[in-house]
Amino acid sequence: MLKGKVWRFGQDVDTDMIIPARYLNTSDPAVLAAHCFADVAPEFARQVVPGEIIVADKNFGCGSSREHAPLALKAAGISCVIAASFARIFYRNALNIGLPILESEAAAQEVKAGDLLQVDLAEGINTNLSSGRVYQTKPFPPFMRELINGGGLIPYLRQKLAGTGEV
């Protein structure tokens, strides 16, 4: 169960906004976190508290394939991103590194900055504790739950390869 206050973003938040390319000369998560949203929300990196949640409109994470974008969010302490929709590479990158992301148009329409959200990943039930509204999201298929619960693609693959004894 995740619980955190909400940071609000609009539509088409691109990966250059999440982490500008000039900071991609490192892959150190702490450095990336310090520059997260540097150009469009410079206060974010200073003020974000571990466990907080991002809610955004459509097409979150569009643009580059840089995994530095979900890495920066995760390292900054963001526990979950909820958006009306996600750009597809960001979607798989987030799951692959174990950052939960959920699609909900209703939440994207109604949730406000500063609201307190509670997210139940297993059941797909997300509650806005500030307004009392509940948003149901589609639970992940078993394959993907296994991947997320294992901490991402690498632990999943390590287990799988160890299990079969082949590469």
Partner 1 sequence: MGMTISEKILAAHAGKKEVSPGDLIQARIDLALGNDITAPVAITEFARIGVDRVFDPEAIALVPDHFTPNKDINSAEQAKVLREFARKYQITHYFEVGRMGIEHCLLPEQGLVGPGDLIIGADSHTCTYGALGAFSTGVGSTDLAAAMAAGEVWLKVPPSIKFHFYGQLQPFVGGKDLILYTIGQIGVDGALYSAMEFTGETIASLGMDDRFTMANMAIEAGAKNGIFAVDERTIEYVTGRYKKPYTIYTSDPDAEYRLTYEWDVSTLEPQVALPHLPENVRPVREVGNIELQQVVIGSCTNGRLSDLRAAAQILKGHKIHRDLRLIIIPGTQEIYQQALREGLIEIFIDAGAAVSTPTCGPCLGGHMGILARGERALATTNRNFIGRMGHPESEVYLSSPVVAAASAVKGRIVHPEEVLKSA
Interface with partner 1 (CB under 8 A), residue from 39, 105, 123, 146: 39
Rg from Cα positions in the chain? 16
Positive or negative, the Cα torsion across 86, 88, 94, 99? positive
Report the C-alpha gap between 85 and 126 in whole angstroms: 16
Q: Which is nearer to partner 1, 5 or 23 (CB)?
A: 23
Q: Which is nearer to partner 1, 54 or 89 (CB)?
A: 89
Is 126 in contact with 137 (CB distance < 8 Å)? yes
User: Which residues are registered as beta bridge partners of 3?
Assistant: 118
Piece of 45-53, 88-96, 102-110, 123-131 that binds partner 1 (CB under 8 A): 88-96
Applying CB under 8 A, which residues contact partner 1? 12, 14, 16-17, 20-22, 24-27, 39-40, 58-59, 62-68, 70-71, 85, 87-89, 92-93, 96-97, 141, 143-144, 152-155, 157-158, 161-162, 167
